Chain A
Amino acid sequence: MSATASAPSNRPGQAVAFLRTYWLEIAWIAFTLANLAAIVIVPSAETVPFHFVWVSLTLVYGIRLWRLKTTSFVLLAVMVSTGTTLAWALTHTPAGFDELAEVPLMAAMFVTVMWHVHRRQTALDEVKRLAEIEHRLLERERNLVRDASHELRTPITVARGHAELIRQTERGQVAEDAGIILDELGHLSRIADRLLILAAAEHPEFLRPAPIDLERLIVDTARRWSVAAPRQWRVNAPVEGLLYADEERLQSTLDALIENAVKFTREDDRIAIVGRNENSIAVIEVSDTGGGIPPAQLSRIFDRFSRVDEGRPRGNGGTGLGLAIVKAIVEAHGGSVRVRSELGKGTTFSLHIPGFKRGPNGARPGAWEPDLDEARAD
């Protein structure tokens, strides 16, 4: 009932939609028919309308790019209609019939255009296909990190929650044991966090870079650490300018290197932080006069879960992933990290990060003065 009732009311709508889709074809057919009529009416002036038909065909094809079947059919129709009208015109004029050769010649020209268009279209499709694949890979990688977060953190959450319930409801040894489980779950959770950072670092959207004031970053970091850990601190960072980098990530790599240096030095050891600009590459060095790293371990120091001091008991908070993350972050910036070490003399880590631009630091829009006295107060 409703279908029959609604059909007539749809008809004008469909007609409008048809017109909107095929207006160019309709206009072109009308134009072609007018030209064919002109040939018939004024046979002596056949050349102009004849060529108008072919030129307009090429023009419309360039816009619409019909499929091969449609194009062949249209080409055939144009050949037949222009051929017959031209032949008819030639019987009414003194000119010879050799002018009919124009029809296959124009057709050949049109086929050449078709071939070029086809070649270009294929190339474009290929580019589109590759972009699509690239896009899907990125998407899958993004989902991978997301799914891994879920898969790793959900069981830790469940275990942790239940261990906490035990610790709350039980007393004595059982509660203590639950506390040990909680400590280990905390450790596992830190490892999971860092593994997820490593996984995310392979994704192009990992970094959120912005122009950062390198000198201030280095000086502030050094000042903060020098308060926290008594060592012979040296800072030399005359790098006026801006580095295009992810400030938070870069800060965490610098902290990781300094934390390492602090861990392997004593109070009378020196820790130096140096910054310089080498041909638009920012170089940041963290060196210490600690015990150094044995050459055998130096080569795999950036590997995941590698430990410099094999004898050190696990569970002092380290995850064996710190330097691997440093390397991943620096490489995500398109840079590199190197290490030099001599047993008994000390170790130097250097970060090389491209994208440094020399200039006055204050020129940065939205520059701000940190409240250093306040920051040191607590």
Chain B
Amino acid sequence: MPRILVIDDEPRIVHFVSRALEAEGYGVDAAYDGERGLELAQQGRHELILLDLLLPSMNGVSVLKGILKARPDQRVLVLSALSDVQSKVRCLELGASDYLPKPFALAELLARVRARLRQPASAPAERVLHAGGVTLELLRRTADAGNGPVSLSEREFLLLQHFMRKHPEVCTREELLDDVWGYSFDPGTNVVDVYVGRLRAKLGAGVIETVRNVGYSFSAV
């Protein structure tokens, strides 16, 4: 079974996260500060790392940088009490595989862990996502659907990377609102539709399909 490393300064979070992961059959190691976490991460024995962004001895972002510098293909899921777009975009640009704001539902965390483990680790060094005919450059925040790179806004970037990582699964509106906008409930907005419209305008109408009564899915062009 895959081994997972949990890095968080709050022992009680490590406690319930470890218990839930172990109940699913994963092997779990824990580190309660950034230095220890980085040390364990560099050994490269973990298929996935769950990293908290705020740590006492070291800033979580520097730990993330450290991990990815030592092991560029390491999958890291960032857990953070910061829910603002900038923090999220920054972590994904640096090469984190996913970002889950606290407080999270345990079922949600487990689903993301499963999804990340299913997925092949992202290409080392270059930090690029490929899905369908689209290439997303994480560091430059540009997407290319065959007509040259187009730069994306922070939200567009978050939305597209979510679609591409989920591909070929269908993404529901609720899930997109939650993951990209951080709404834990549907506030009745049409932001998802608006941003899907913007991505279609930038990358071509065929890139995202509407799935009636469900949501959207990324389509292989």
The complex places the Cα of A295 from the Cα of B61 at a distance, in Å, of: 51
| Contact stretch, chosen from B62-70, B130-138, B139-147, B183-191 | B183-191
**Cβ contact of B200, chosen from A150, A185, A317, A371, cutoff 8 A:** A371
Tell yes or no: A228 within 8 A of B by CB: yes
Q: Which residue of A lies closest to B201 (CB)?
A: A368
Residues of A within 8 A of B107 (CB): 164
Tell yes or no: B36 within 8 A of A by CB: no
Q: How large is the interface on B (under 10, 10 to 19, 20 to 34, 35 or more residues)?
A: 35 or more
Residues of A within 8 A of B23 (CB): 168
A317/B185 in contact, CB under 8 A: yes
**Cβ contact of B188, chosen from A161, A224, A369, A370, cutoff 8 A:** A224
Tell yes or no: A165 within 8 A of B by CB: yes
Q: Which residue of B lies closest to A371 (CB)?
A: B197
Q: Name the interface residues of A153-179: CB closer than 8 Å to any CB of B.
A: 153-154, 156-158, 160-162, 164-165, 168
Of B103, B201, B215, most A-chain CB atoms within 10 Å: B103
A158/B12 in contact, CB under 8 A: yes
A190/B189 in contact, CB under 8 A: no
A378-B188 contact given A154-B10, A161-B16, CB 8 Å threshold: no
Tell yes or no: A303 within 8 A of B by CB: no
Residues of B within 8 A of A186 (CB): 184
A164/B197 in contact, CB under 8 A: no
Q: Name the interface residues of A243-286: CB closer than 8 Å to any CB of B.
A: 248, 251-252, 255, 259
Residues of B within 8 A of A255 (CB): 187-189
Tell yes or no: B19 within 8 A of A by CB: yes
Tell yes or no: A236 within 8 A of B by CB: no
Residues of A within 8 A of B196 (CB): 371, 374
The complex places the Cα of A378 from the Cα of B54 at a distance, in Å, of: 39
A193/B83 in contact, CB under 8 A: yes
Residues of B within 8 A of A164 (CB): 16, 20, 105-107
Tell yes or no: A149 within 8 A of B by CB: yes
A374/B210 in contact, CB under 8 A: yes
A378-B215 contact given A149-B83, A154-B102, A160-B105, CB 8 Å threshold: yes
A252/B187 in contact, CB under 8 A: yes
Residues of B within 8 A of A190 (CB): 184-185
Tell yes or no: A336 within 8 A of B by CB: no
Chain B residues within CB distance 8 Å of chain A: 10, 12-13, 16-17, 19-20, 23, 54, 81-83, 102-107, 173, 184-185, 187-191, 193-194, 196-198, 200-201, 205, 210-215
Apart from A149-B83, A158-B13, A161-B13, list 14 A-B contacts with CB within 8 A. Answer: A146-B54, A156-B102, A157-B81, A157-B102, A157-B103, A158-B12, A160-B106, A161-B16, A164-B107, A228-B188, A317-B185, A371-B197, A374-B196, A378-B213
12 A-B pairs within 8 Å (CB atoms) are namely A153-B81, A154-B10, A154-B13, A156-B102, A158-B13, A158-B16, A161-B20, A164-B16, A164-B105, A251-B191, A368-B198, A378-B215
